Amino acid sequence: MVQGNGVLLERIALNLVQNAVRYNVPEDGWVEVTTQVQHGQAVLVVTNTGPVVPAYEIDNLFEPFRRLRTERTGSDKGVGLGLSIARSVARAHGGHIAAEPREGGGLVMRVTLPI
- How many angstroms separate the CA atoms of 104 and 51, rounded? 8
Domain containing residue 92: CATH number: 3.30.565.10
Which residues are registered as beta bridge partners of 43?
36, 112
For the chain, the domain total comes to 1
pLDDT digits (tens, 9 = 90+) for 54-95: 999 999 999 987 766 544 445 556 557 899 999 999 999 999
Measuring CA to CA, how many Å separate 82 from each of 28, 39, 40, 41, 68?
24, 27, 27, 23, 13
pLDDT digits (tens, 9 = 90+) for 24-62: 999 999 999 999 999 999 999 999 999 999 999 999 999
Domain assignment of residue 1, yes or no: no
Sign of the CA dihedral running 41, 53, 76, 32:
negative
Domain assignment of residue 42, yes or no: yes
Domain assignment of residue 56, yes or no: yes
- How many angstroms separate the CA atoms of 30 and 99, rounded? 17
Domain assignment of residue 33, yes or no: yes
Domain assignment of residue 58, yes or no: yes
pTM: 0.87
Which residue range forms the structural domain that includes residue 80?
Answer: 6-114
